[in-house]
Amino acid sequence: MRALAGLTSRRSEASVPAGSTDLLEVLDVWGGYGSGDVIRGATFTVPASGVVGLVGPNGAGKTTLLRGISGQFSFRSGQVRYAGRDLGSQRPDRRAHQGIAHVPQGRRLFPDLTVTENLEVACGVFMGREAGRQRISELSELFPIISERGRQKAGTLSGGEQQMVAIARGLVGRPALLLLDEPSLGLAPAFIARVVDLLKDLVAAGQTVLLAEQNVGVASALCTHLNVVNRGAVTDSGPADEILGGQAMQSVYFGAGG
């Protein structure tokens, strides 16, 4: 297999500013859908390497945080800084071109398009047709399903196979920051293990990942740093091995705070 570095090389405009180690800063953000605040003062950072996790039960606000970071809605207040710049109210397409890719919960592939066509749609956002073909060829070395099932409609794949295609689609534009929302959700244990191994390879090659995950086993296998999310706030943050046994984690999963 070709060295993974060529598949995950970072966009130059997403370099971390001098004097900082953080690629992403989420600072006291508030907001949600309609008039209510789903997110209530969340603050955390993502350094320019490794996997940072947002962990918490269903409904804690993890998905909403990722949607706000990728620009699918605007936080009512607070700040999201990426590569030292305030993203403000930038549209999702502009954020994608700056190097933020979002792989949503539930995969969200086009079910009636083939695997290859799903990737071609994503390539069309970033590059011309010939460059897109080359990019898909590169990704097929990391994701064999692209060549094995390229002509198969995405909607006929298993959940785990769809997840692989969704991650491949997220990598099309060589993002500096990959936002992954519940990649293990609904998958059989064997496919969860495959997704974990894949993400470990990507991170070893230099990919930065912000992972929203309620499966503590997956989060502990991948993340160097964890943020516990509960009721729209980050209630604890620190090295993964410290957070996993901490009071905030126990509270949101087993106590009254869940």
pLDDT value, residue 258: 36
Q: Tell me how far apart the alpha carbons of residues 60 and 161 are, in angstroms, rounded to a whole number.
A: 27
End-to-end CA distance of the chain: 44
pTM flag (> 0.85): yes
For 214, other C-beta atoms within 10 Å of its C-beta total 20
CATH code, domain with 162: 3.40.50.300
pLDDT at 8: 62
CA distances from 15 to 22, 57, 176 (A): 10, 33, 8
If one counts the domains in the chain, the total is 1
pLDDT of residue 13: 46
Structure tokens at 18: 């001098």
Backbone angles phi, psi at 209, to 5 degrees: -130, 135
pLDDT confidence of residue 256: 45
d(CA 56, CA 232): 10
Residues of the chain with pLDDT under 70: 1-20, 254-258
What 3 state SS string does 192-247 have?
Answer: HHHHHHHHHHHHHCCCEEEEEECCHHHHHHHCCEEEEEECCEEEEEEEHHHHCCCH
Please report the pLDDT score of residue 5 as a whole number. 53
Which domain covers residue 113, as residue numbers? 5-254
